[in-house]
Amino acid sequence: MQDQPLLTQAELDFIQRLQDQPVAKTRKAKSSLQVDASGQLKALLALCASHEQLTIEAHFANQRMTFTPQLIEDEDHQQHLDLGTPQIFDEGPISRPWRLPLTPPVVLRQRNTKPSDLWVHELSMSGLLIELRAKRTPPEHFSLILPLAEQKPIAIQGSFVRKTIRGLLVYRLDPLDQRGSARLRQFIYQQHRSLYPEAHPA
């Protein structure tokens, strides 16, 4: 009686193809993540996302990124969770929005695009650290244009809070409209990705 082979030729060919795959592809496959959930859990996640009651947090060093997933529908009418752009916070005794350092500082501009004498050194979703390059009293309020790299500028308003030991001025950023807030959050997130690539694996 002749022994039957343990593997068919098709199975041997499949194993050979796996061995011939480049290492990069194998690593990419290992780093991918698929989530399988029961019907009840999927329904719960969808319900929470549709009512904006679902958040996902990621921690990196002393920072926290908070995602608010949204329920979206594709062309095939299938619903998916979209993480969207996260909010970034510095963690410590007091949690506060992460401040993006701007190097070099960015000048705020007037409505007619002329530069003002206010230069932004740090920027967050709630405030700015500003240098006043003029011999005058810091304005209590300002309404100016914030240029953004590779994006359209945003109209912002700020209210004076205090002066730092270094002589810089802290301003509270007045609430933006929904579109402006989304664009500013996206800009800050993009800059965070550039500064901390290890926190944002491709």
Domain map of the chain by residue range? 39-90, 99-199
* Local confidence band at 41 (pLDDT 50, 70, 90 cut-offs): low
What 3-state class would DSSP assign to 132? Answer: strand
**Which of the 8 DSSP states describes residue 92?**
S
Please say if the pLDDT value at position 26 is more than 50: no
Separation of first and last alpha carbons in the chain: 55
Please say if the pLDDT value at position 40 is more than 80: no
Q: What is the pLDDT of residue 32?
A: 42
Task: Tell me, yes or no, if the pTM score tops 0.75.
Answer: no
* Local confidence band at 49 (pLDDT 50, 70, 90 cut-offs): low
The runs of H, that is alpha helices, within the chain are 9-20, 23-31, 39-50, 178-195
* Local confidence band at 29 (pLDDT 50, 70, 90 cut-offs): very low
Instruction: Select from 159, 125, 155, 123 the least CA-distant residue to 139.
Output: 159
Please give the average per-residue pLDDT across 19-43, as a whole number.
49
Please say if the pLDDT value at position 28 is more than 70: no
CB 108 within 8 A of CB 132: no
Q: Which CATH class is domain 99-199?
A: mainly beta
Residues in a beta bridge with 151? 148
Backbone angles phi, psi at 113, to 5 degrees: 75, 0
